[in-house]
Amino acid sequence: QVQLVESGGGLVQAGGSLRLSCVASIRTLSGYVMGWFRRAPGKERESVGTIRWNGGSTYYADSVKGRFTISRDNAENTVYLQMNSLKPEDTAVYYCAAGVGIAMTAKDRSFRYWGQGTQVTVSS
């Protein structure tokens, strides 16, 4: 069982930045793909991006490419989502997820473990 705990959400003005953190309660995330997803009001959950723990390769959705960066801290079993140049349309609940043996572009149903989510609100 893997527990994921997100933090770092909040209210920010358009153009601002936030960094979300996700701490995983597991001895090692070797072999895992960590993903960030979001769900905006009235919309389906969508992928923001992923990072492969081994090697650190990343994948981003087109909507956030160039603005968001996913990174990891091996020693702390933590994955980060740095969000810059935020837009009102980035407003959503952001979720961290973990899956093993899955593709970088895997859909949300392929991720086995999920955090509780953290709210990000971008004001115009």
Tens digit of pLDDT for each residue in 23-34? 999 888 999 999
Would you say residue 116 has pLDDT above 90?
Answer: yes
Q: Is 18 exposed, middle or buried (0-12, 13-18, 19+ CB in 10 A)?
A: buried
Residue 58 in contact with residue 46, Cβ under 8 Å? no
Would you say residue 115 has pLDDT above 90?
Answer: yes
What's the mean pLDDT in 47-70?
96
Summary mean pLDDT of the chain: 96
